Amino acid sequence: MLFRQLFDKTSSTYTYLIASGRGREAVIIDPVKEQLSAYLGLIEQLDLKLVRAIDTHTHADHVTALGDLRNQTSCITVMGEFTKADCVSEHVSEGDKIELDGIQLEAIYTPGHTDESFSFLWRQSHQQAVFTGDVLLIRGSGRTDFQGGDPRKSYDSIVNKLFQLDEDTLVYPAHDYKGMMCSSIFEEKYFNPRLAGKSEAEYAEIMNNLNLPDPKMMDVAVPANLACGQAN
Amino acid sequence: MLFRQLFDKTSSTYTYLIASGRGREAVIIDPVKEQLSAYLGLIEQLDLKLVRAIDTHTHADHVTALGDLRNQTSCITVMGEFTKADCVSEHVSEGDKIELDGIQLEAIYTPGHTDESFSFLWRQSHQQAVFTGDVLLIRGSGRTDFQGGDPRKSYDSIVNKLFQLDEDTLVYPAHDYKGMMCSSIFEEKYFNPRLAGKSEAEYAEIMNNLNLPDPKMMDVAVPANLACGQAN
């Protein structure tokens, strides 16, 4: 199995490259435009054929590499069915399975950070992992105050969908700002300070009072990402 | 299996926490003093018993958490047999095996970045990994111009020891500065620009002409690390 977590320092974004091994088909999740050459270099060195590039949601803090990767590798671009990005070729719905050479990813609709966010569950023989985008972060969760965000939907996605997964499921988010690279459902269920022991109303109260500034790149990133990171 | 790669942004250091699972004995490799509370929090949440804290070598770019971890958890501090840090409790030699609850790490003497650097090979059923400290980095290698560094020893350690491991062995270094988190022996053997297709003399020529400034923290970190990160 070939699994690479990659980090874009500027936006603290994690990107994931997955294949069954060298020389096999690959999928990339949440790629960042500025890292395109790094991805292409790694794909070439590992002799991979990139067949899918997925964005978990329309990011507001970085520009996606989806369009560039499609142009350079002829991969299929994938997002959830409710995305407003009309440049995306393949749309997934709850329970859809993305299948490639030895890899299966199951789409889970997890709105809350945005109204079009999906998570992707990767089942393996000895371990499973979920790519949560921004809805569930490590000991945190993605803000719910723009792009159709809703704290009650975030709570429902996390508690009633993600926390129902096996507790040993690894959690790989789209961001971390504190040097943590992965977590597990167990840890987030019992130690996420916004969620552990909190009711939906308590969670909504926390999320509605974060008072965060808008992401620096929001005015650039959102329109760019609706065009898959390509100039309109 | 429980495996966590952790990142200290200030020094771009990777630290590794390994155990067979929650509630089991654990080992930490190359911990950073400033991250002590994060390690202790994670160890508590995962219900781990930290039994070994290893430094691959005497770091010049950050202060180790070895002494603090020993004081807080009663773990045993480990370094290679040639370290000058007289505060270390356990010294390993080539081929020594560190055994804990379901985990085995084999010590490999890999001088070159320093004259006392060891790598540690972690064998698992389905995959093995090597923690290379600074001797082998991702598409790079650790400087060889101080602390007993020697480009010819570095070449020998990398080419005649690490590159002899199975090509699928994952490579986990103590640093990366470009957002890469792991590599493999295959990739470094064939795509490391300092090493792929290079003779020992060519490698030495490259390493002797890097002209790097001293690490900012060197004057503080080296003496501090010789005392396991504790005030003398």
Does the distance separating the beta carbons of A180 and B6 come in below 8 Å? Answer: yes
| Of B45, B25, B9, B68, residue with least CA distance to B224 | B68
What is the model's pLDDT at position B232? 52
Our measurement of the distance from residue A206's CA atom to the centroid of its chain's CA atoms, rounded to an integer in Å, reads 23
SS3 of residue A142 by DSSP: coil
Q: How confident is the model at residue A67 (pLDDT cuts 50, 70, 90)?
A: very high
Average pLDDT over residues B216-227: 91
A8 CA to chain B: closest CA distance, Å? 6
A170 CA to chain B: closest CA distance, Å? 10
For residue A3, the chain B residue with the least C-alpha distance is B182
- Check: pTM over 0.80? Answer yes or no: yes
Q: Give chain B's domain count.
A: 1
**A-chain residues within 8 Å CB-CB of B45?**
187, 190-191
Does the distance separating the beta carbons of A45 and B7 come in below 8 Å? Answer: no
Mutant choice from A2, A3, A5 vs B, greatest count of B C-beta within 10 A: A5
Examine residue B86 and state whether it is found in any structural domain, yes or no: yes
Q: What is the pLDDT of residues B54-98, one digit of tens each?
A: 999 999 999 999 999 999 999 999 999 999 998 899 999 999 999
Name the DSSP letter for residue A214: P
Examine residue A155 and state whether it is found in any structural domain, yes or no: yes
B185 CA to chain A: closest CA distance, Å? 12
* Residue B104: its H or E element: strand B103-109
Examine residue B70 and state whether it is found in any structural domain, yes or no: yes
Name beta bridge partners: A109: A118
How wide is the angle at C-alpha A132 spanned by C-alphas A131 and A137, nearest 5°?
120
With a cut of 0.85, is the ipTM above it? yes
Examine residue A221 and state whether it is found in any structural domain, yes or no: no
**How many C-beta neighbours within 10 Å does residue B34 have?**
15
Least confident of A137-146, B10-19, B222-231: B222-231
Examine residue B19 and state whether it is found in any structural domain, yes or no: yes
Examine residue B150 and state whether it is found in any structural domain, yes or no: no
Average pLDDT over residues A127-139: 97
Q: What is the pLDDT of residues B94-115, one digit of tens each?
A: 999 999 999 999 999 999 999 9
Name the DSSP letter for residue B92: E
Average pLDDT over residues B37-52: 98
Domain membership of residue B102 as a residue range: 2-135+168-183
| Of A31, A161, A18, A159, residue with least CA distance to A94 | A161
What is the model's pLDDT at position A125? 80
Q: What is the pLDDT of residues B183-214, one digit of tens each?
A: 999 999 999 999 999 999 999 999 999 999 98
Q: How far apart are CA A2 and CA A4, in angstroms?
A: 7
Examine residue B20 and state whether it is found in any structural domain, yes or no: yes
For residue B8, the chain A residue with the least C-alpha distance is A179
Q: What is the pLDDT of residues A6-65, one digit of tens each?
A: 999 999 999 999 999 999 999 999 999 999 999 999 999 999 999 999 999 999 999 999
Examine residue B151 and state whether it is found in any structural domain, yes or no: no
**B-chain residues within 8 Å CB-CB of A14?**
none
Q: How far apart are CA B147 and CA A223, in angstroms?
A: 51
Q: How far apart are CA A104 and CA A109, in angstroms?
A: 16
Tell me, yes or no, if A139 comes closer than 8 A to chain B by beta carbon. Answer: no
* Residue A92: its H or E element: strand A90-92
**How many C-beta neighbours within 10 Å does residue B25 have?**
18
Average pLDDT over residues A156-170: 98
Tell me, yes or no, if B30 comes closer than 8 A to chain A by beta carbon. Answer: no
Mutant choice from B7, B12, B166 vs A, greatest count of A C-beta within 10 A: B7
A82 CA to chain B: closest CA distance, Å? 31
Q: How far apart are CA A207 and CA A90, in angstroms?
A: 32
Asked whether the predicted pLDDT for residue A218 surpasses 90, the reply is: no
Task: Please report, for the domain that includes residue B28, its CATH number.
Answer: 3.60.15.10
